[in-house]
Amino acid sequence: MKRETAWRVFAGEYNDSTFEIKSEEEMMPSYVITPLGAKINRVFIIGVLTDVENVSEGGEFVRAHVSDPTGVFTLYSGSYQKEVTDIISEIDVPAFVAVTGKVRTYIPEEGTLYVSIRPEKLIEVDSEIRDKWILETCKSTKDRIGAVLEAMKMDESSEDGLRKLGYSKDLSEGIVTALKNYENIDLNKYVDIIRESLDFLVTGDESLDVTVDEKIDETKEKIKPKTKKQEEPKEEDKPTETSEEKKDFEEIEKNVLEVIKKIEGENGASWDNITEECEKNNLDKDSVEEALSSLMDKGLIYEPILGTIKTT
């Protein structure tokens, strides 16, 4: 069975999830669908571990909270994850932590669903790694907003239509499902979530901030409702630069993926080694990191542990 991709999502999007695809077959994965169409079985989050509470007398079952700029994730860990449970219990809070985990749902009554996370791995990290995760998650969130907009423009949103635009199978399925099960998805809310997250970001590379911020403004403009008098631009009036840029970026993605396949061993390839090898092929660091994030969103690579990349 293929290992599920660990999605990067903010708490503000994850906690808005109210729809679950529950598998009826034994040993088959279930998924939570977010309003932006992330089809999540596993997540990768980084934030501040704010508190840990024993919820059983023996301390073998704990509840913890991890805060990011948009909200709070709830974690539950027990005897089946004893190693992780011990780690959580021994950390002095507050502390920056990176968590890879499975989605967990609780339905107290029909029509009500609460989401949490069952951690598989948890390690302490520093603020620099946390800031990098914020930036990557901003980009992933922006891409999902863009994909939802593309689906909304279709006469009838379809997985095939989104796949032809270059979106992954899981995201395409998730978006179609989200549009069927969430009424009046407030895209502006998630644009604001990106802005709030960037306010928390501490990074020396201001060019990345500007790039993301400009894209947010573009997305904001696209979300504005059209009046009936507004007409779609004629084909000859549409800019061609975007398609050329997309073609160039797809070539970068292809080169980065080839590098990963070349140097990954049984345990994967480190992020730094991938970047170093790509730079030897005249790819700049920023383009490589954008390509890595995009390849993760497409499900072509995943991060089994922080800082290590493997192909699926």
**Is residue 303 predicted with pLDDT exceeding 80?**
no
**Is residue 243 predicted with pLDDT exceeding 80?**
no
More confident of the two residues 202 and 187? 187
175-184, 235-244, 292-301 — most confident range: 175-184
Torsion of CA 157, 163, 169, 175, to 10 degrees: -30
Residue 19 and residue 182 in contact, taking contact as beta carbons nearer than 8 Å:
yes
113 φ/ψ angles, rounded to the nearest 5 degrees: -135, 130
Give the span between the Cα atoms of 208 and 197, in whole angstroms.
14
How much is the pLDDT for 117? 95
Spans of all domains in the chain: 6-125, 246-312
* Helix/strand/coil for 154: coil
Cα 195–225–150 angle (5° rounding)?
A: 75
pLDDT tens profile 172-195: 999 999 999 998 899 999 999 998
Q: pTM of the entire structure?
A: 0.65
> What is 246-312's CATH number?
1.10.10.10
In this structure, what token pair is assigned to residue 130? Answer: 């946390």
> Strand runs (DSSP E) across 175-251, as ranges?
none
Give the span between the Cα atoms of 271 and 263, in whole angstroms.
11
Q: Give the pLDDT band of residue 228 (cuts 50, 70, 90).
A: very low
**Is residue 237 predicted with pLDDT exceeding 50?**
no
How much is the pLDDT for 235? 44
Give the span between the Cα atoms of 147 and 144, in whole angstroms.
5
The DSSP output letter for 268 is B
How much is the pLDDT for 207? 34
Q: Give the pLDDT band of residue 118 (cuts 50, 70, 90).
A: very high
In the chain the first and final C-alpha atoms are separated, in Å, by: 11
Domains 6-125 and 246-312 share a fold: no
Residue 309: partners with Cβ closer than 8 Å, 6 or more residues away: 260, 264, 268, 269, 270, 271, 274, 292, 301, 302, 303
How much is the pLDDT for 141? 96
CA atoms within 13 A on the CB side of 21: 20
How much is the pLDDT for 233? 44
Q: Which of 3.40.640.10, 2.40.50.140, 2.60.40.420, 2.30.110.10 is the CATH number of 6-125? A: 2.40.50.140
Q: Any idea which of 44-53, 84-93, 102-111 has the lowest mean pLDDT?
A: 102-111
How much is the pLDDT for 123? 95
Give the span between the Cα atoms of 14 and 101, in whole angstroms.
13
More confident of the two residues 267 and 233? 267
How much is the pLDDT for 27? 60
168 to 171, 253, 297: CA distances (angstroms): 5, 14, 7
Give the span between the Cα atoms of 181 and 195, in whole angstroms.
26
Residue 216 and residue 195 in contact, taking contact as beta carbons nearer than 8 Å:
yes
More confident of the two residues 207 and 176? 176
Give the span between the Cα atoms of 10 and 138, in whole angstroms.
8
More confident of the two residues 55 and 48? 48
How much is the pLDDT for 78? 85
**Is residue 273 predicted with pLDDT exceeding 60?**
yes
**Is residue 202 predicted with pLDDT exceeding 60?**
no
Per DSSP, helices labelled H in 22-158 are 82-90, 127-153
More confident of the two residues 297 and 168? 168
Mean pLDDT of the chain: 82
139 to 5, 10, 41, 95, 182: CA distances (angstroms): 17, 11, 20, 25, 23
Q: What percent of the chain has pLDDT over 90?
A: 47
How much is the pLDDT for 34? 97
One-letter amino acid at 106 equals Y
Pairing of strands 42-54, 71-77: unpaired
pLDDT tens profile 139-174: 999 999 999 999 999 988 899 999 999 999 999 999
